[in-house]
Chains A and B, each alone.
Chain A
Amino acid sequence: MKPLFARGSYTTLRLLVFVLLSLALMTLDHRQHRLDSARAALSLLIYPVQYLVDLPFRAGTWMAERLSFRTSLLRENSALRNQILLQSAGLQKLSALENENIRLRELFQTSLRVRGEVRAAELLAVDLDPFRRQIVINKGSLHGVTPGLPLLDANGLMGQVINVGPVSSIALLITDPSHAVPVQVSRNGLRALALGTGASDRLDLPYIPTDADIQVGDMLITSGLGGRFPPDYPVAKVVSVDHGPGYPFARIRAVPTAHLEHSREVLLVLGETTPPVPLPEPEPPAAPQKARPSGDKR
């Protein structure tokens, strides 16, 4: 019953049409970001599949919660209670410090930093392109997510949202090879860029002169330059500094503090205002003059 020659001589024409169509799509997507709405619509189509893939993991967590013993729950409860107590004690001190900080800033007539609203989101357990570092979260434009929002977990900066669909979004992690975060060393304010490498536990800090004051164990925090990430969130810890005499710059590696591979609950920072005036630390000798616009160069 089937025709002997399927589709006949139109096959090549069809191929040509679809190749041209894909080339046009790729150009629009890459050069002009005109396709964000198309991407959002497609993400809505793909969401049921992602939900389906995520379901066993969700069910596993649910079962583990339901079937755990009363004693272990009680133990966990008391541990959490202790933790809350300790942290709220710390917070009391923090709020006093914050007030003092605001007063001092008013004295110096610099702009205030407003604490942003933070919203929780959950990761969907789905795999994306294995050569890039991206994650899917279960909040989208219906929940107020916009492209560029920073993403945190309990331990530090994770990345930023790049594609927003109605009910889900894709975020780029700081370890993606196309991502850069403007950071500074918390000990002395030395500014740098933390570039992703594609490996999940490694960031590189290029363009730092070999005589710059940076040591193993230094904490890197966001500097807030570039205006994309709010300042003072922990990003990474320096694990190796190589002042090879043959290199023009030191070779510095850092490990992200956020648990990029394990966190399932993440936080989105909505609408934190960053100060227009950069921090008043002295300029390091040959640090990059200006942070390049962080991340998102798709």
Chain B
Amino acid sequence: MIPTRAHRGWVIALTLLAAFVLTLFPLPAWASLLRPEWVMLALIYWCLALPDRIGIGAAWGMGLLLDAASGTLLGQHALAFALVAYITLKLYARIRRSPLWQQALIVLALVFIEQMLVLWITGIIGQLPWRWGYLLPTFTSMLVWPAVFLVLRHVRRTLRVT
């Protein structure tokens, strides 16, 4: 049991790297407002699939990296990611068994929580510009969740990440 624990961690790292690349990839302004929260989605997937390997600590670390990459306050995304990972870990058995469209709705709620936390913190430190579409990423994240889930499950099964 012990030797299988650290099995193919590089696959998880690679999918998270891909999520980072998608997050940083330059898009036109209108499209970057629609950009799904790729890193959050990948983390939610791995929390659901391997809750004993990917948890609050990993989510927090990824959030910190995202903070450094996107120039936000250090700890802003980290806090939101850790909280979402916590909720996912608490409910993973239930979420895992629900059909894909229900999962998408749960992801909507999770990403909404993450976005609201990040926006609140931005607002508290007084850097919130007036702008439409703060919560658009929440909806696009919901829409892409089935695709993310299927792709990552395929990756996990073919490469036997446990």
Query: Does A58 sit within 8 A of B, measured CB to CB?
Result: no
Q: Does A160 contact B (CB under 8 A)?
A: no
A10-27: CB near B (< 8 Å → 1, else 0) gives 011011001101111110
Contact between chains at A53 and B78 (CB < 8 Å) = no
| Given the contacts A6-B52, A38-B74, A21 and B60 also touching, CB distance less than 8 Å | yes
* Cross-chain contact B26 with A125 (CB below 8 angstroms): yes
Residues on A lying within 8 angstroms of B by beta carbon are: 1-3, 6-7, 11-12, 14-15, 18-19, 21-26, 28-30, 35, 38-39, 42-43, 45-46, 49-50, 52-53, 57, 125-132, 134, 162-163, 170, 177-178, 197-198, 200, 298
A14 to B23, CA, bound (A): 27
A-B contact count (CB 8 A): 143
CA distance A293 to B78 in the complex (A): 31
Can you list 6 pairs linking A and B with CB atoms under 8 Å apart? Answer: A18-B57, A22-B75, A25-B64, A53-B25, A125-B26, A131-B131
A15 near B82 (CB under 8 angstroms)?
yes
Interface hub of B68, B73, B92 (most chain A Cβ within 10 A): B68
A126–B20 Cα distance when bound, in Å, is: 11
Q: Is B21's CB within 8 Å of the partner chain A? A: yes
Complex interface: chain A residues within 8 A of B127 (CB):
132, 177-178, 298
Task: Tally B residues with Cβ within 8 Å of A.
Answer: 52
Is B27 among interface residues, defined by CB-CB distance under 8 A? yes
Given A127-B25, A177-B127, A198-B131, A50:B60 Cβ within 8 A? no
Chain B residues with CB under 8 Å of chain A are 1, 4, 17, 20-21, 23-27, 29, 32-33, 35, 51-52, 55-57, 60, 63-65, 67-76, 78-79, 82-83, 86, 89-90, 92, 121-122, 125-131, 134, 162
Taking a contact as CB atoms closer than 8 A, the residue among B24, B86, B92 that contacts A50 in the complex is B24
Task: Report chain B residues within 8 Å CB of A12.
Answer: 86
Q: Which residues of A contact B55 (CB under 8 A)?
A: 6-7, 11, 14
Would B68 and A45 count as touching, CB distance under 8 A?
yes
Task: Select A3's contact among B20, B25, B52, B72, beta carbons within 8 Å.
Answer: B52
Minimal Cβ-Cβ distance residue in B for A43? B68
Q: Which residues of the partner chain A approach B90 to less than 8 Å between Cβ atoms?
A: 11
Q: Hey, which chain A residues are within 8 Å of B57, CB to CB?
A: 14, 18
Cβ contact within 8 Å between B24 and A22: no
